[in-house]
A = this chain, B = another copy of it.
Amino acid sequence: MKKALGQKRPETVDKATQALKKRIKTAEEVLAKVRQLAVKVKAEPAIARTLTDLNLTQACREVVDKDADAVLDEVESAIYLVAVSILKGEGFSYDIPSRAKGNQLYVPELDRIVLKDTMSQRPFASTATCRKAVITTRILQLVHELCAKRIHVTKRDLFYTDVKLFEDQGNSDSVLDDVACMLGCTRSSLHVVASEKGVVVGRLTFSEDGDAINCQKMGVGGKAIPPNVDKVSNIVSDAMFILLVEKDAAFMRLAEDRFYNTYPCIIMTAKGQPDVASRLFLKKLKETLRIPVLALVDSDPYGLKILSVYMKGSMNMSYDSSNLTTPDIKWLGVRPSDLDRFNIPEQCRLPMTDEDMKTGRKLLEEDFIKANPEWVKELEIMTHSKVKAEIQALSSFGFQYLSQVYLPLKLQEGDWI
């Protein structure tokens, strides 16, 4: 009796979805436009433009990745200079690059925020800076220990090594950024890392601290993105593109459907607001493999904010922007214009809040948005319609609509901006 009922297990796919599905050609044909983009990306100059290319070195400063030995040398030089100054009778003081907003500069040629060259003195023999000079010395010593031992810790660990001196984690965090600027190297070069949050699956193999990792054999859960990207090497991939996904629900759908088997790609997500580890990992993938990055985010101002963090960094890490940012990410979806194009039902569209509207209008004034007229157009559609939608809104056409209809169709049409 139960069996008889069980025989008919129909798939409920409505006619419109069926029609769209019919338009999807073979994987090879779907990928034709992506292949063109990939060729273009590969042909771009390998070395990104730097401050030096722009003859701006005098006026601006950025930090670079340095290995542990180079950082040890930098720390020792800094301390040596202080010692010489003391012996000369000129006192104990550090020269620290200013990270204040007034010392930040947006360089359109680089599409990044960098630091101008204002320096500030931090003498020990001043009541205003005495404590900060001591904290700076202590942080230099701790960084020296980390690099000598070749171990990585979090900012929180660093704070706890001398709570009596630091008093508040804000103090050790901010001096850590000062020290990175002073030594001219990235915060991750100092062996202080952010906690990891991201995951990755797909056509990618790499070595992590000596272990061979194959991201095509990582089940549906994927590989956790390592907190210290400098332990990642031997990146090899036959992927045609990187699919950057905002949320883990969409990531899970694509991983379970093994989307990367049909459409060779690397799928990664930072589960919302991207952390430093995920940004470094994406940058490393992009620079090594030189393949396009296509982004799948919610159709709301927050989705664009996330793209902006990947593409141009956050304000308080601007001295490190060249090492953290991946420019030239293509916005694949979900775009405001997709809502009508794919007939997303009214019930799945959410009204934008006042906060959303404010963020949206602010984004319209940002340089990195204005630089791309098609992004402006989409953002205007959003702010005019006052409607937003999540990636999951696509589930209204069936759970696998995202992996079987929406994404193949977008790729086939080369519908990214």
Chain A interface (Cβ < 8 Å from any Cβ of B): 1-2, 5-6, 9, 11-12, 72-73, 76-77, 79-80, 144-146, 148-149, 151-154, 156-164, 193, 195-196, 199, 208-213, 217-228, 231-232, 248-249, 252-253, 256-257, 271, 345, 347-348, 390, 392-396, 398-400
Contact = CB atoms under 8 A, between A and B. Distances in A.
Nearest to A209: B219
A80 B9 contact: no
A210 B261 CA distance: 14
A257 B220 CA distance: 27
A196 B221 contact: yes
10 contacts: A11-B149, A154-B392, A158-B395, A160-B396, A163-B396, A196-B221, A196-B252, A208-B219, A213-B217, A213-B219
Contacts of A399: 145-146, 149, 151, 153, 157, 161
Contacts of A396: 160-163
Contacts of A398: 161
A213 B148 CA distance: 33
A5 B76 contact: yes
A212 B217 CA distance: 7
A220 B228 CA distance: 8
B225 A223 contact: no
Copies of this chain in the oligomer = 2
A405 to B, nearest CB: 14
Nearest to A69: B6
A252 B223 contact: no
A211 B222 contact: no
Nearest to A399: B153
Contact of A161 (B73, B217, B395): B395
B392 A157 contact: yes
A80 B5 contact: yes
A148 B227 contact: no
Contact of A231 (B161, B212, B219, B249): B219
A169 B218 CA distance: 31
B73 A2 contact: yes
B222 A218 contact: no
A410 to B, nearest CB: 19
B12 A145 contact: yes
A231 B252 CA distance: 13
Contacts of A154: 249, 252, 392
Contacts of A220: 152, 208-209, 226-228, 231
B145 A195 contact: no
B226 A223 contact: no
B5 A163 contact: no
